[in-house]
Amino acid sequence: MKEKNSFLKQTIDINSPNRNIVPITTLIGSDGKLSIGGCSIEELVKKYDSPLYILDELTLRNSCRAYKKALEKHYPGDSLPIYASKANSSIFMSNLVSSEGLGLDAVSEGELLTALKGGVPNENIVFHGNNKSNKEIEFAVKNNIKVIVDNDHDLERLEEISNSFNSDLEIMIRFTPGIECHTHEYIRTGSFDSKFGFGIEYLDILFNKISNTKHLKLKGLHAHIGSQIFELEPHKDLGEIMVNVILVAKKFGHNIQKLNVGGGLGIKYTENDDPPSIDEWVKTISTSVVKACKKHNLNLPTLMCEPGRSIVSTAGITIYKIGSFKEIPGIRTYVSVDGGMSDNPRPITYQSNYSACLVNNPFNTNSKKKYTIAGKHCESGDVLFKEIELANCKTGDLICVFGTGAYNNSMSSNYNRIPRPAAVLVCDGEAEIIQKRESPFDLLKYDVLPDRFIKQN
């Protein structure tokens, strides 16, 4: 019989975890069961219940180190990889990436506060967003956090704040370079038609505006062309475009010292995915920037990049417990699990694909059947997998879904008033809680019954 789940047999690349489907510590024990980080998944579920998010520390650290190592290898100037915390924001993640020498980008006061509480140095944090509130901007400025200006509204308020403080304020601007990538329409952020950033055709006007402010000091440029990208050529083009914009800024008296090329490197969710390695991606963008700077006799700027998914996604798995079955003869068999779109909204939102296996039979050695894995929410579209091959399974079995470290926990919800899962960190046979499981009572914490309703009752 043909062996299923051959991704579990593939060689693991410890230097570029984004090219693996599974965490680098994934093992099949002598009992034929799955473990991560030296921890039995079955035992973790017994202790922490399910659904359960699990993060592998070694995979996380190797991802961070791969970016640091590649930048040191390929870029002769100063550099700083910055973790895009929207992928998975927590005090733990902030602390880990900072301990590995990475900075962090945030898009809200909540993410900023989380970064600071996690120990990320203020000078290594950048603040993004296309509609920052006054409160958020003031929080960033008061905490000496670099603001990336996204639009004229941002610029006007930053000018007011710098004038009110009567002190200089260093800023970066985000612009859209007009590069198209073969990616999902909803996550293509670098084209001309984007809600993010200044249009490249507007830069002359923008640079002149900033020149006429008293305290705003333009020191950096930012651009981002999308997410889950497998192509290298667009990032090569991006480096050249950004260096050319340095020359335009120079005409208006601005000394650009930092280039932030965003993120976007894809990961391997399924066997059909073939993303470039972290080293290849960094080499492409570094070579492009160095070549363009040399051509125009420019000093090398500090090169910044913002990986998110490629840092944390492969390090994460989600464990579900199987409940009910529904077989529709000649059509499909539904297998329902104890989670779904509230802990992973990406399949229903982006039609995203993942890889999975049973914890107690990961190689699907007795499989001759395909299942549709359905979530427990009151939505027909709450389906995690359509027609996935698994070993013959039964109620109570555990399913492990790989590649869920990014945009699962951070995009989770309480739809149907379902509490969010716990999250644990595994390393060297030890497991530690990094996010407590919510209870139904936690969901009532911020509900308020108006006084007149209380009196009526």
305 is catalytic: no
- Tell me whether strands 103-106 and 125-127 are parallel, antiparallel or unpaired: parallel
407 is written with which tokens? 């945009």
Q: Is 23 left (phi over 0), alpha (psi -120 to 50) or beta?
A: beta
Hey, which residues does 357 pair with through a beta bridge? 400
- Measured distance CA(343)–CA(376) in Å, rounded: 11
- Chain centroid, CA 38 distance in Å: 25
Set 39, 181, 293, 378: catalytic member: 378
Q: Give the alpha-carbon dihedral of 272, 277, 281, 284, to 10 degrees.
A: -100
Instruction: Quote the CA–CA distance of 31 and 48 in Å, as a whole number.
Output: 22
Distance separating alpha carbons of residues 154 and 392, to the nearest angstrom: 56
* Whole-number Cα distances in Å, 252 to 198, 203, 205, 218: 17, 11, 10, 11
Three-state secondary structure along the chain? CCCCCHHHHCCCCCCCHHHCCCCCCCEECCCCCEEECCEEHHHHHHHHCCCEEEEEHHHHHHHHHHHHHHHHHHCCCCEEEEEEHHHCCCHHHHHHHHHCCCEEEECCHHHHHHHHHCCCCHHHEEECCCCCCHHHHHHHHHCCCEEEECCHHHHHHHHHHHHHHCCCEEEEEEEECCCCCCCCHHHCCCCCCCCCCEEHHHHHHHHHHHHCCCCEEEEEEECCCCCCECCCHHHHHHHHHHHHHHHHHHHCCCCCCEEECCCCECCCCCCCCCCCCHHHHHHHHHHHHHHHHHHCCCCCCEEEECCCHHHHCCCEEEEEEEEEEEEECCCEEEEEECCCCCCCCHHHHHCCCCCEEECCCCCCCCCCEEEEEECCCCCCCCEEEEEEEECCCCCCCEEEEECCCCCCCCCCCCHHHCCCCEEEEEECCEEEEEECCCCCCHHHCCCCCCHHHHHHC
Where in the sequence numbering do the catalytic residues fall? 378
